[in-house]
Structure 1
């Protein structure tokens, strides 16, 4: 299915899902969500969440963003809500990696799902490991993306840096997939919730493999940031890849600025929790999401409004 048709179908399905949303009283006037790059899972999910919040009583919108950039946007008041990785949030607090100054004003609202790092490469390239990427043309994500930070850490765990690659472009997943189809790049990278639509479409038109992360490589990442978790991409997720591929994961969660009122934060979390049937249908990775899981935000403190809701539900002491 052409990309535009697939996206249009997804949006149409989302709209159909939200006809029975439960309204919640005392809604904020409006909220805007910054999410992820084009072609990834974050943006469609954020669009769906905006639909949920709008149906519940506020005026919500979603825009593109990046795991690292979102932390800056929300902390500076340029956005109300943002999606990020637990590993990025912790790095921002401690002024590590791409964050030159501590960012301590963000507060967690609810955990959403686990992302798994994907490095799809063409079978014809002969690349079978991260070490094989040396000197190869690669399409990478923008500097402000959380995926970029994670990929740099993965490269370092294999004794490499981006300087050892031939970086032909920086952009979203669709840019990377197009570069692979045109044979301009052997692969691209993303931390996403499987199955990812862009990678699924790519695998139909071009034989691909996903690079595995060894136990030693994971141990090095875990030593740098405890927010990383062992993960795998199940066999059969993408065409032509029948065996499970070991990788690394990082949870994705929604957050706000500490300046958001307790009432607004409470309303947002309650609106999502009250409409979990609709939220679970946004992506396969959220099918089992429940209130107890929503409360398991890591990397930054929970917003007091979120704490109040989770305590009322008995999932937080």
Structure 2
């Protein structure tokens, strides 16, 4: 047996070593990474997802979000299938996915949300300033129409198809009449517009959209087009969209007056397997960031209001989000 003066240092080294090792093991075990499916590169959703990932990581170092490109229609299915544990969705399309309604063929029962209202999104129809006619109905039904819009997995393109159907036309009809219906990323179709490959663009982006601002400062003069009353009513009554205004000062090079448009809003979807504590802490961080911190990520996020965010009925709130909203005093107890 070692004498007392030999045992004590050895014992202290063991205890100290254990004390140092335990936090390291605990931190490593607690580290969790989740995939966050956003929108196209160059779009507002991707920028906002990256900003939220950084914000959540700053307050919750053990929660890591890996942002990947996606599209509004496909994101619901990716989250429902747990390919991505988290993702952006659009209110009207998320509700359709949960119910298994068009454009979805099966109920998406594994989707939960952290609420809505994170980024009211306007639908924008842009025309080259030297092209006629100037009204939405006339320009979308003209022969030889050359228009660019995002890829077919996007809510932008699905919405454009719904508008074309209401007007009695379609992508196939546009092509059959000698026109062009170009799909691509936001950057690709913006470049095509600038190069004269298309004369019109259709994009759903929250204001102020960087691509529209850049086009307004570009070499090809362009103008935004307002949505007529009957179309806005049809989109609300048939598909549960909303309507709003793009104020005249939003894109001064592209508009000279307020423009009425169809709108929709962003939902944060999560798979129901995301741990309650993780969903709770992410939602708590978002609630605390209301106002300036969210607006610094993207101007459209100024509209986020926890008092109304939880009221979205298109998909169930995650239990962790319920806990955070109740703790914040904006959601009544059960």
Q: TM-score, normalised by structure 1?
A: 0.86
Corresponding residue for residue 252 of structure 1: 266
2:45 to 42, 45, 49: 42
Corresponding residue for residue 14 of structure 1: none
Mapped contact 1:114–1:251 kept (Cα < 8 A): yes
SS of equivalent to 2:119: strand
1:125 to 120, 131, 135: 131
Corresponding residue for residue 108 of structure 2: 103
Distance 2:31 2:262 in 1: 37
Mapped contact 2:96–2:102 kept (Cα < 8 A): yes
Corresponding residue for residue 69 of structure 2: 64
Runs of 4+, deviation exceeding 6 Å: none
Corresponding residue for residue 8 of structure 2: none
Structure 1 residues 280 and 297: CA distance shift in structure 2, 3 A: farther
Corresponding residue for residue 75 of structure 1: 80
Distance 1:99 1:191 in 2: 20
SS of equivalent to 1:113: coil
Mapped contact 2:171–2:181 kept (Cα < 8 A): no
Mapping for residues 218-233 of structure 1, pairs under 5 Å: 218-226=232-240, 228-233=241-246
Structure 1 residues 81 and 197: CA distance shift in structure 2, 3 A: same
Structure 2 alignment gaps of length 5 or more:
1-28
- How far did residue 159 of structure 1 move? 2.3
- How far did residue 128 of structure 1 move? 1.7
Mapped contact 1:84–1:146 kept (Cα < 8 A): no
- How far did residue 151 of structure 1 move? 1.3
Corresponding residue for residue 310 of structure 2: 295
Distance 1:34 1:308 in 2: 24
Mapped contact 1:233–1:245 kept (Cα < 8 A): yes
Residue 283 in 1 paired to residue 286 in 2?
A: no
Mapped contact 1:176–1:187 kept (Cα < 8 A): no
CA RMSD in angstroms, aligned pairs only: 1.8
Distance 1:50 1:170 in 2: 29
Distance 1:145 1:225 in 2: 16
Structure 1 residues 192 and 27: CA distance shift in structure 2, 3 A: farther
